[in-house]
Amino acid sequence: MKIILDPAHGNETPGKRSPDGLFREYKWSREIINRIAGKLKDKNIDYGITVCEDTEPGLKERVRRTNRISSGVNDNAVFISIHCNASGDGSAWMKARGFSIWTSRGKTRADEYAEIIYNEFDKTFPDIKLRSDYSDGDPDYESNFAVLMCRVPAVLLEVLFQDNKEDVEILQSEEFKENFCECILNAVQLIINN
């Protein structure tokens, strides 16, 4: 199985930062993606990264790159896009907190993968709020976000809120970063063995 890692946005994307401007989603996401990639490499798990540059290539280009990276493995791959959530317009600190995961609409294999990641996050971080939508029987939210429309099962993680002071403190802590990357590695190993 091939793991396709997709970092959030680009350094010029408006609003993708904490209200004080000190936390930048693109930078945090790329750090996490690179750490996860190192862990996958250590375990000899095949992976690819959609965006290595700091700028935003565009949503269609992300899908094109994902499809190119997954070429030859058919749908024996999973696309994991890692973001931080926000509940406001970026100008003020907000109260919303927690972790959520998204897939495209309808029942697909991505729903199974999302549930594995969701459960692994819950096991790793029992004190962090989980946000969920069980209206169709599983915890993921569903929307046809452009990056989820690639040809492989795709999930998008919203890891805490970049406009919540407490969540930003957690996101910046070395302990959280390391444990989160281990959490994703564990989930990937469960997905591969699923």
Looking at residue 194, its pLDDT comes to: 85
User: At residue 86, does pLDDT exceed 80?
Assistant: yes
Q: b or e along 149-170 (b: 16 or more beta carbons within 10 Å of the residue's beta carbon)?
A: ebebbbbbbbbbbbbbbebbeb
Backbone torsions φ then ψ of 123, nearest 5 degrees = -65, -40
What is the rounded CA–CA span in Å between residue 8 and residue 13?
A: 10
- The encoded tokens of residue 142 equal 């569903």
Report the pLDDT averaged over residues 63-86: 94
Residue 74 pLDDT more than 90?
no
pLDDT band at 44 (very low <50, low <70, confident <90, very high): very high
Residue 52 has pLDDT above 90, yes or no: yes
* Residue 21 lies in domain: 2-192
> The CATH number of the domain where 171 resides is what?
3.40.630.40
Count structural domains, the chain.
1
165 has pLDDT over 80: yes
